[in-house]
């Protein structure tokens, strides 16, 4: 499958089978996140894998019934103490975390798994549930598992802006 086909196959799954994710598949998607690019290669990210007794605490930070169907969750965190800061102070930590999360979601899709970006969560509750230090921030929760739903891979032709509306050549 070529890259655009893979990217079009990825979707936000909101229903998962009860089947657990195999350790080797989980490690494969985590490796995809590990090798993601980051500003100045500082790699200011952590991947907190939750699939045991702490899963209920994580689930309580996002109140959607479908979220409870995922057998595991990867919480991508940014470490602001290790991130590169641009000259004007712009912190790259959240950008780096987003790139890593995207690599994870695409690797999951290529492995027959599904994910969903969840950013609207109880940050304080999640920070406490994961025992995160002050300089580490949860950026995105990625429920992960085998999908129990599907998406139209042709949806991008109607749900995305046409390329000519997004591309500017040379100057704005």
Domain range summary for the chain, segments of one domain joined by +:
3-165
- pLDDT at residue 108 above 90? yes
Global pTM reads 0.94
Check whether domain 3-165 has CATH 3.30.450.20, yes or no: no
pLDDT digit string, tens, across residues 63-79: 999 999 999 999 999 99
| Local confidence band at 11 (pLDDT 50, 70, 90 cut-offs) | very high
- pLDDT at residue 1 above 80? no
Looking at residue 138, its pLDDT comes to 98
Half-sphere exposure of 51 (CA within 13 A, CB side): 18
What's the mean pLDDT in 8-21?
Answer: 96
Tell me the average pLDDT of the chain: 96
Contact predicate 57/127, CB 8 Å: no
The tokens describing 2, both together, are 């070529």
Q: Which residue(s) pair with 145 in the sheet?
A: 114
Question: Among residues of the chain, what percentage have pLDDT more than 70?
Answer: 100
Looking at residue 81, its pLDDT comes to 96
- Rg (C-alpha) for the chain, rounded Å, is 17
- Across 16-124, where does the E strand assignment appear? 45-50, 72-79, 114-115
Looking at residue 156, its pLDDT comes to 87
pLDDT digit string, tens, across residues 116-157: 999 999 999 999 999 999 999 999 999 999 999 998 888 888
């Amino acid at each position: 499958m070529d890259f655009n086909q893979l990217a079009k196959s990825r979707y936000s799954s909101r229903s998962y089978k009860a089947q657990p994710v195999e350790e080797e598949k989980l490690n494969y998607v985590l490796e995809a996140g590990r090798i993601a690019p980051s500003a100045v290669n500082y790699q200011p990210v952590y991947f907190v894998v939750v699939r045991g007794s702490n899963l209920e605490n994580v689930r309580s930070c996002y109140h959607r019934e479908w979220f409870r169907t995922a057998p595991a969750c990867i919480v991508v965190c940014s470490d602001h103490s290790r991130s590169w800061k641009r000259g004007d102070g712009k912190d790259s930590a959240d950008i780096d975390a987003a790139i890593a999360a995207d690599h994870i979601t695409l690797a999951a899709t290529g492995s027959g798994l599904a994910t969903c970006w969840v950013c609207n969560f109880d940050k304080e509750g999640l920070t406490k549930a994961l025992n995160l230090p002050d300089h580490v921030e949860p950026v995105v929760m990625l429920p992960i598992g085998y999908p129990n739903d599907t998406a139209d891979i042709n949806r991008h032709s109607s749900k995305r802006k046409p390329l000519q509306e997004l591309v500017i050549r040379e100057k704005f």
